[in-house]
Structure 1
């Protein structure tokens, strides 16, 4: 696959799944803009093809201005990957409204704003791909994580609606739905789950591993490979789909 001349925008691109996708696309010739809230993290992984740009997906003004600047510097965005997100479980009866709103602002509002602003330049071109990094929790309820599951269900609804809006046009909208991936989010959640469940951190990590049907954590590179498939030649009829990456039928 040769993506020379294409510009990709990946939110949450400094670590984990976002970084794996950025590095894979850059290796295929793509010019990549990665965003995150910490410029030093982005700078540490930037290369001649990957440019880091601090951006808070919860802040509309920041998203509007930063994406416009990326387009001005590197051309229209033809690959948009809203990946920035937070994952934290909490029982509903213990969930404050601020917790709910921050989850929605990051996972759902952030995806909406990123896609909306990217479409402004993508629609001026003859080809585009939007791939949202959702979760298996967007397809079924995740115990103890109603807020997170709701945010990912909303993301999938957004993608499915956009695929209908652009039917017959050269743009596709799909969502990748991984299970537990070996990223810093899993590392952070290990401690959180251990505290909530009253178990050791080793047991907490095993609980996440066991939730994947093949009983291992998914590698970020596996998700990147799925994204490349949706971007590559012959993918134009894959639209409005949720691709499960969870080691087996869920």
Structure 2
């Protein structure tokens, strides 16, 4: 139980990668606050383990983040592990992208990480170790066509962890790293399939194969592949891993 007694906070913890990481941290002994906008989803997940705790919080709203993180810290202690996973993925041609759509993506995917990390760090005493992780994407290390706001936001969070790792390196025992998974077998991918089926006139298996080509080994990733990387970054063995972007995409991106 490596994380026994530690308080972890996982944004977007009600589904997909966030849920899997939260469940794994709870199994390793951590008290895990899972956040999201849908109370019923969070409560359903929290009911599966006494170490999972639901908290409605919108990372796109500064007041919601600061109040939510403060509430979580008051209930379960300083946030030693913070996984900024919440995000949105909306696509479309660049010339058809509105400023409102651009800002919506940036507010959730980039501002949300900034606010979450800042509020969580404020709860952690200067001498306490911390593991802070953002779930970026292969879009954070390469460009994706028809997903410019998403690509820019995911590049942005990698820049954020680069800067934070340098700023805190000699001040506090906190590491900052990014996970960059490729296409994972989650709802985000599943939601893209109907559009691909219509566009390319293929069945569901054909649409999945089209998405899987985005991974170097041409198969969809399973959630546990990202979860394992997150647990390693949270471990004491990764105490000297700082400011890194861990690619999980079946090969070199």
Shared fold (TM-score greater than 0.5)?
yes
Q: What do you get for the CA RMSD once the two structures are aligned?
A: 1.3
* TM-score normalised by the chain length of structure 2: 0.95
Instruction: Write the deviation string for residues 187-224 of structure 1: whole angstroms up to 9, x where unpaired.
Output: 112234445x4543533322111111112111111111
Looking at structure 1, the residues matched to 231 and 119 of structure 2 have their Cα atoms a distance apart, in angstroms, of 22
> Number of aligned pairs?
249
Q: Which residue of 1 aligns with 2:169?
A: 167
User: Against the structure 1 CA distance between its residues 123 and 194, is the aligned structure 2 distance closer, same or farther, given a 3 Å change threshold?
Assistant: farther
Q: Which residue of 1 aligns with 2:38?
A: 38
Asked if 1:205 is matched to 2:213, the reply is no
Q: Which residue of 1 aligns with 2:108?
A: 106
Q: Pick one of 194, 215, 232 that aligns with 1:191.
A: 194
Map residues 229-240 of structure 1 onto 2, 5 A cutoff: 229-240=232-243
Looking at structure 2, the residues matched to 217 and 105 of structure 1 have their Cα atoms a distance apart, in angstroms, of 28
Map residues 57-206 of structure 1 onto 2, 5 A cutoff: 57-168=59-170, 169-194=172-197, 197-200=199-202, 202=204, 203-206=206-209
Looking at structure 2, the residues matched to 22 and 130 of structure 1 have their Cα atoms a distance apart, in angstroms, of 14
User: Once structures 1 and 2 are overlaid, which stretch shifts more, 8-17 or 96-105?
Assistant: 96-105
Moved over 6 A (4+): none
SS of alignment partner, residue 237 of structure 2 = coil
SS of alignment partner, residue 176 of structure 1 = strand
Looking at structure 2, the residues matched to 123 and 240 of structure 1 have their Cα atoms a distance apart, in angstroms, of 21
SS of alignment partner, residue 191 of structure 2 = helix
Looking at structure 1, the residues matched to 143 and 201 of structure 2 have their Cα atoms a distance apart, in angstroms, of 23
Q: Offset at 1:126? A: 1.6
Looking at structure 1, the residues matched to 246 and 125 of structure 2 have their Cα atoms a distance apart, in angstroms, of 24
User: Against the structure 1 CA distance between its residues 103 and 194, is the aligned structure 2 distance closer, same or farther, given a 3 Å change threshold?
Assistant: farther
Gaps of 5+ in 2: none
